[in-house]
């Protein structure tokens, strides 16, 4: 299996972590919800796979381009 890194498209706060390591994820399914400027922006998986690692925690501030999740596809 290959592993992909999913990065944040924005600088903002992690509002909600929806998945845990070991969970299955479908393509375009939200894994983490970011909050920036009072907008909720989902971080989604580009492919079907299994969550390998979540690198952020709720209420954490992260920069644009930061790796948020690793998924085995």
Q: Which two tokens stand for residue 64?
A: 């644009």
∠ CA 1-14-36, nearest 5°, is 120
> What structural domains does the chain harbor?
3-72 (2.40.50.100)
In this prediction, residue 13 carries a pLDDT of 98
∠ CA 9-71-30, nearest 5°, is 50
In this prediction, residue 1 carries a pLDDT of 75
**pLDDT by residue for the chain (73 residues), tens digit each?**
799 999 999 999 999 999 999 999 999 999 999 999 999 999 999 999 999 999 999 999 999 999 999 999 9
By CB atoms closer than 10 A (0-12, 13-18, 19+), residue 27 is exposed
Q: What is the pTM of this model?
A: 0.92
């Amino acid at each position: 299996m290959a592993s992909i890194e999913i990065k944040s498209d924005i600088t903002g706060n992690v509002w909600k972590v929806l998945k845990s390591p070991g969970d299955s994820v479908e393509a375009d399914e939200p894994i983490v919800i970011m909050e920036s400027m009072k907008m909720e922006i989902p971080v989604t998986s580009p492919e079907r796979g299994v969550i390998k690692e979540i690198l952020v925690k709720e209420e954490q501030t992260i920069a644009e381009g930061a790796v948020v999740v690793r998924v085995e596809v």
